[in-house]
Chain A
Amino acid sequence: MSEWKSRFRALAGHRLFWPVVVLAVMLLANTVYRPGFLAVQMRDGHLYGSLVDILRLSAPLILVALGMTLVISTGGIDLSVGSVCAISGAVACLYISKQPDQDSLGAMFTALAMALGLALVLGAWNGVLVAVIGIQPIIATLILMVAGRGLAQLITEGQIITINADPYRAIGLGHFLTLPLAIFIALGAALLIAAITRRSALGMIIESVGGNAEASRLAGIRSGRITFLVYVVSAACAAVAGFMITANVSSADGNTAGLWIELDAILAVVIGGTSLAGGRFFLSGTILGALIIQTLTTSVYAMSISPQTALLFKAVVVIAVCLINAPAFRAKLVRRKPGLPPADVSGDQRKERVPA
C-alpha cells in the first residue's frame, strides 16, 4: 500500500506528470462531449480525424517553441519568430510563384534555401543585437517583430500570394507512413536539437549561460557565442514553421502568417516547465505544451464554444494549467488536508542555477 503511494508520489513528482494529466483531461472532455472525437479513420491511404489534425496543426508551434526553449533557457526571449515565419513563407512562396513550373523540386529547394538563408541572417541580426551590442532581448527582438511584419508585407506587396505547387504543399499537407509529414519534420527537428544539446555538453552550457552568464564566462564558456547561436537556431526553426504555415493553405499572407505565434510559443515553453528566468530547459515539456495549446484551440471548435466566449474559455484553461503546474500552488492545496506533509517546493521555485 505504502509502496504504491510512494510510487505514485514519484510519478506525480515527475515534471511531465501534470502537463500529461492536463492533456489527457482535455482529450477526455472532448470525448465526453462528442464520443467520436478520438476516432481516427483511414482515408485515401492516410489517417484522418481530430487527433491527426491536432498533431499536424501543432507542428509549426512545436518548431517555434523548440527554438524559443533554447532562447529562454539563456535568459532571453525571441519576440520576432512570428515575423520570421511570415518572411520565410513569403519569400518561398514568392519565388515559387514566379517559376514557370511550380511543381519542380529544384525550384522548391531553391526557394526553401533562399528563405532559410534570409531567416538565418535575421536570426544573426537578433543575435548581434543581444549578444554583441547587449540590448535587452525583449527590446532587440521587438524591433524585428515590428519591422519584420512590414518586410513580409513589402515582399508580398500587401497581397496574398497564392501558389499551386504540389511539392511545397507537401510540407504542410503531405503524408508519410499514413501520418502528416509536418509532424515528422517537427519530430525530426526535436530529435536533432535534443541530440545536439543532450548528447554533448552544449545543453548544459546553454543552461549555465542562462543560470549565470558572467560566471559561465569566467569558467571559460563563451557566453556571447552561445547567446548568438540560440537566436540563429530560433530563427531557423521559425523559418521551417513558416514553410508549414504557408504550405498548409498554399498561400503566403504577410499580414497574418504566424501572427502571435511567439506568444503561444512562450506559453508552450512555460507549460513545459522551463523558467522564463532562464536556466534548465525541457524540450519534451515544450512539445507537450504545444500539443496542449493546439488541443485547446481545437476543443473550442469541436465543442462549438461561441467565438465571443472562446477567448475567456482559453484564458481560464491556461490559468488552470499554469496553476496546476506550479509546485507552490499544489503544495498549498495539499497542505490544507491534514495528515499530508507539505511538498518540498524550495528547489522548484527558485531560478535553477547551474554551478558555474
Chain B
Amino acid sequence: MKSTRKFGPVVAALAAVLLTGGLAACGNSDTGGGSGTADDGKIVLGFSQVGAESGWRTANTTSVKDAAAEAGIELKFDDAQQKQENQIKAIRNYIQQKVDVIAFSPVVESGWDTVLKEAKDAGIPVILTDRAVDSADKSLYKTFLGSDFVKEGKLSGEWLVENKKSATAEVNIVELQGTTGSAPANDRKKGFAEAIAANPKLKIIASQSGDFTRAGGKQVMEQFLNSNPKIDVLFAHNDDMGLGALEAITAAGKVPGKDITIITIDAVKDGMKALADGKFNFIAECSPLLGPQLMDLAKKVHAGEEVPARIETEETTFTQEQAKEALPTRKY
C-alpha cells in the first residue's frame, strides 16, 4: 500500500514528461498502418526528424509534411526528440514495414553504418536531409540534401566586400559565432573569413560565441561595444543572435544598420522584419523548406534514377529592399 502511494505521483510525473516532451511523437502512431508498398501504387516515405528544438525545425517539419501531401506521397513521420537511438529504432521500423524510401536528419554525425547497411541490404534507398553523416562508405545513402553552411558564410562575406569596396580606412568587424564546435558555426565562420580575405582592410577584431540565442548575442555584443570604440560591421551566425545584438547596439546609443552594418544568416521572420525595417543590412538564407525538393528526390530514387551525391537546398540572399518584397509571403 505504502509503495503504491509513493509511486503514484512518480508515475503521474513520468506521464507528464511523456506528454509534454512527446506530443510530437504521436506521429509514431501512423507508422503502424499498412505494409510499405501500398496497393494504390503510392510511394511510401519514412522520415525521421531530429526533434522540435527551434522555430527553424518546426518550419522544416511542416514543409516536409505539406510537400508529401501535395506530391501524393504517403509519409510516415517520426520525431526522434534529439536521440540517436530513437532514430535508429525508427529506421529499423521503416525497414520492417518495407517502405519505399527512407529519409532522415541525423541527430549526430557518427554511428550510422550498421543501420544504414541494414537498409541497403533490404534494398531501401536512404536520403539524408539537413545534416550529414561521417560514414566512410558513401554507397550507404543515395544523396545528402541540405544547406551549404560554408556557402552561406561566403555569400555574407562577398556582400560585405562589395559593400565596403570604397572604404579607405580599416573596417572593424565583430563576429557572433554559433554554438562552439557545431557545424554551422564552424562552416559559416570559415566561409566568411575566406570571402573577406579579398580585402585586407576588412578585419575581424573580436569573435565570440553567442550560442545561437538572442540573450547570448546581446550579452556578447554589450561587451564588444564596451571594449571596442569603433565597430563598423557585425556578422552574426544566425538571426536570433543578431536580434539580441540589436538591443545592445541601441542601448549603446548607436543606430543599427547605419552606424554598424549588420549581416546575419537564416532569414527567419523576425530577422526579415528587422531587415525590412532597415536595422539589418543583409541576410543569407538558410531555408528549412526543403520538403518539395525531398519529395522530388524520393520519386527519383524510387524510380531508380541516378541523383547527385550532394544536393544543396534552394537558397537565396536578401537585401533590405528584397526583404520588404518577400516579407508578406514568408512562411516562417
Task: Report which A residues bind B (CB closer than 8 A).
Answer: 34, 36-37, 43-44, 48-50, 53, 57, 128-129, 133-135, 143, 146-147, 149-151, 153-154, 157-160, 162, 173, 245, 248-251, 253, 255-257, 297-298, 300-302, 304, 306-308, 310-311
* Chain A binding surface, main DSSP class: helix
**Inter-chain contact A245/B251, CB cutoff 8 Å:** no
**Inter-chain contact A248/B13, CB cutoff 8 Å:** no
B17 within 8 A of partner (CB):
yes
Partner of A53, one of B52, B211, B226: B226
> Roughly how many angstroms separate A36 CA and B14 CA in the complex, as a whole number?
52
Size range of the chain B interface in the assembly: 35 or more
**Inter-chain contact A256/B16, CB cutoff 8 Å:** no
B107 within 8 A of partner (CB):
no
Among listed B54-62, B147-155, B160-168, B193-201, interface-contacting one: B54-62
Enumerate the 7 nearest inter-chain pairs by beta-carbon distance, A residue then B residue, closest first.
A150-B20, A301-B223, A307-B209, A150-B21, A249-B214, A143-B13, A307-B180
> Roughly how many angstroms separate A151 CA and B13 CA in the complex, as a whole number?
12
Interface centre among A36, A160, A173 (most CB of B within 10 A): A160
**Inter-chain contact B10/A147, CB cutoff 8 Å:** no
**Inter-chain contact B244/A249, CB cutoff 8 Å:** yes
**Inter-chain contact B240/A160, CB cutoff 8 Å:** yes
Known contacts A150-B17, A154-B23, A245-B215; A304/B55 CB under 8 A: no
B253 within 8 A of partner (CB):
yes
**Inter-chain contact A256/B218, CB cutoff 8 Å:** no
Known contacts A34-B227, A135-B10, A147-B16; A249/B222 CB under 8 A: no
> Roughly how many angstroms separate A153 CA and B270 CA in the complex, as a whole number?
18
> Roughly how many angstroms separate A241 CA and B82 CA in the complex, as a whole number?
28
**Inter-chain contact B17/A147, CB cutoff 8 Å:** yes
**Inter-chain contact B222/A154, CB cutoff 8 Å:** no
**Inter-chain contact A147/B21, CB cutoff 8 Å:** yes
Task: Report which B residues bind A (CB closer than 8 A).
Answer: 5-6, 9-10, 13-14, 16-17, 19-23, 52-55, 57-58, 177, 180-181, 206-209, 211, 213-216, 218-220, 222-224, 226-227, 240, 243-244, 247, 251-253, 270
Known contacts A158-B55, A160-B55, A250-B247; A256/B20 CB under 8 A: no
Expressed in whole angstroms, the minimum distance between the Cβ of B240 and any Cβ of chain A is 7
Q: Can you name 15 A-B pairs with beta carbons within 8 Å? A: A34-B227, A50-B223, A135-B10, A143-B10, A150-B20, A150-B21, A150-B22, A159-B55, A248-B218, A249-B243, A255-B54, A301-B220, A302-B227, A304-B206, A308-B181
Chain A residues with Cβ below 8 Å from B21 are 146-147, 149-150
**Inter-chain contact A257/B57, CB cutoff 8 Å:** no
Expressed in whole angstroms, the minimum distance between the Cβ of B178 and any Cβ of chain A is 10
Known contacts A159-B55, A248-B215; A304/B208 CB under 8 A: yes
Known contacts A48-B252, A160-B55, A248-B218; A253/B270 CB under 8 A: no
> Roughly how many angstroms separate A57 CA and B177 CA in the complex, as a whole number?
20
**Inter-chain contact B219/A151, CB cutoff 8 Å:** no
**Inter-chain contact A249/B215, CB cutoff 8 Å:** yes
Partner of B6, one of A48, A133, A159: A133
Chain B residues with Cβ below 8 Å from A257 are 215
Expressed in whole angstroms, the minimum distance between the Cβ of B236 and any Cβ of chain A is 14
Chain A residues with Cβ below 8 Å from B244 are 249
Chain A residues with Cβ below 8 Å from B53 are 158, 255
> Roughly how many angstroms separate A151 CA and B227 CA in the complex, as a whole number?
39
> Roughly how many angstroms separate A129 CA and B5 CA in the complex, as a whole number?
12
> Roughly how many angstroms separate A48 CA and B251 CA in the complex, as a whole number?
9
**Inter-chain contact B58/A158, CB cutoff 8 Å:** yes
**Inter-chain contact A158/B57, CB cutoff 8 Å:** yes
Chain A residues with Cβ below 8 Å from B23 are 154
Expressed in whole angstroms, the minimum distance between the Cβ of A57 and any Cβ of chain B is 6
**Inter-chain contact B208/A307, CB cutoff 8 Å:** yes
**Inter-chain contact A147/B219, CB cutoff 8 Å:** no
Chain B residues with Cβ below 8 Å from A154 are 20, 23
Of chain A, the residue at the smallest CB distance from B61 is A158
Known contacts A256-B215, A301-B220, A302-B227; A134/B6 CB under 8 A: yes
**Inter-chain contact B214/A160, CB cutoff 8 Å:** yes
> Roughly how many angstroms separate A143 CA and B7 CA in the complex, as a whole number?
13
Known contacts A150-B21, A251-B214, A307-B208; A49/B6 CB under 8 A: no
> Roughly how many angstroms separate A253 CA and B55 CA in the complex, as a whole number?
10
Of chain A, the residue at the smallest CB distance from B6 is A133
Known contacts A150-B20, A153-B52, A298-B223; A249/B218 CB under 8 A: yes
Of chain A, the residue at the smallest CB distance from B226 is A50
Partner of B17, one of A53, A143, A173: A143
Chain A residues with Cβ below 8 Å from B252 are 43, 48
Expressed in whole angstroms, the minimum distance between the Cβ of B180 and any Cβ of chain A is 4
**Inter-chain contact B223/A53, CB cutoff 8 Å:** yes
Chain B residues with Cβ below 8 Å from A245 are 215
Chain A residues with Cβ below 8 Å from B270 are 160, 162, 251
Known contacts A49-B226, A133-B6, A249-B218; A147/B208 CB under 8 A: no
Chain B residues with Cβ below 8 Å from A160 are 55, 214, 240, 270
